[in-house]
Amino acid sequence: MRPSLLFLPTTLFTLTNSLAIEKRHTRAWPASIRSFYSAVYDRLSTLPPETLSTLTSATCNIANPSMPTIPNLPPVTEGLTLYHVAVGRGTQNYTCNPTDPNAIPVAAGAKATLYNTTCMSCLAPVAMSKLAASALAMPTPQGETPLFPAQAFVSGQHYFTGPAPTFNLHTNTHNYGIQFASLLSKVPVPENMIVPGQNVGKDGSRPVPWLKLSSANALSDTAPGVLQQALGSDASPVKELYRVNTAGGSPPKTCDGLAKNFEVEYAAEYWFWGSTGS
C-alpha cells in the first residue's frame, strides 16, 4: 500500500475506536467524512490481524495539538492548553440598506450548531482540515439535529448576545460551560488558500476571516464581562478561542438586489483554549 493511502485506513480506525480522555472528547465520525475513505476501505480486508490491532489501539491524546494558522494570526498565549475543538455549521448574518444598492453589507452576528471534533483534530489533522468544507456542503442544521446522517455529537450552539459572540456548550447531555467573547484579531484568508469547490460556498461566498477571540474578563465593566460574571455553574475555563479553516460566509460586495436582512451559510473550526487543562 502506498504511504499516502496508508494514512486513510489508519485514520478511519483510530477515529472510530479512539478512547476519550473526558466525555467532552467523545469521538464523532460524520458520514460525509466516512465517504472520504471509501476508496480505500476495501483494502482493510487484506491487512493481517496484527496490523489491524495496531490501527485500532490509538487513544485520544490531546496533549500536543496542532491548530491551523495563517500569517498575522496571533499565537495561543503561552501556558494555555486545549479544552475543546468543534466544527460550527450555520450562517453569518448581515443587514443592508435596501434603498442604496451600492451600500456595503453590515455584519449582524452569526448562528451555528457546534459539533465535537476534539479527538479528530489531534488524531487526524489532515482529515479535520477538510471537515468544514464538507460541512458546508450539507444542509444547515436545525437545533441539535445531527449535521450528518451518522451520529455526530453536538457540543452546543454559537450565537450572539448583544455584541458578544457567545459559545453555549451546555446541552441536555453535558455542560462544558458558556463563553462570551470579544475580538482580538481578524485576519483575511490568503488568496492562495481560497479554493472554489472547497472553502467557497455554492453561492460563491468566500471564506470569512480567521479570528482570535478573548474570553471576557470577569472584572470588566464591558457587556461581555458582566455576562460572564453572572454565569455561575455555567462558567467556562476558556480564555481564548480561534475560528480557523473557514468555509463560505462572506457577503456580496454590495447590497444590490439583497434584502434588508439576509444570511450566508458557512462552516468553520473553533478551537477553545483554557487555563485548567483538558
For residues 263 and 257, give the distance between their C-alpha atoms in angstroms, rounded to a whole number: 14
Whether residue 207 is predicted with pLDDT greater than 90 in this model: the reply is yes
Whether residue 39 is predicted with pLDDT greater than 60 in this model: the reply is no
Whether residue 40 is predicted with pLDDT greater than 80 in this model: the reply is no
pLDDT bin (cut points 50, 70, 90) of residue 138 is confident
Helix H or strand E segment including 13 = helix 3-16
pLDDT tens-digit profile of 226-246?
555 555 566 778 999 999 999
pTM above 0.85, yes or no: no
pLDDT bin (cut points 50, 70, 90) of residue 154 is confident
Whether residue 105 is predicted with pLDDT greater than 80 in this model: the reply is yes
Q: Report the pLDDT value the prediction gives residue 216, as an integer from 0 to 100.
A: 61
For residues 215 and 223, give the distance between their C-alpha atoms in angstroms, rounded to a whole number: 12
* R_g of the chain, CA atoms, integer Å: 19
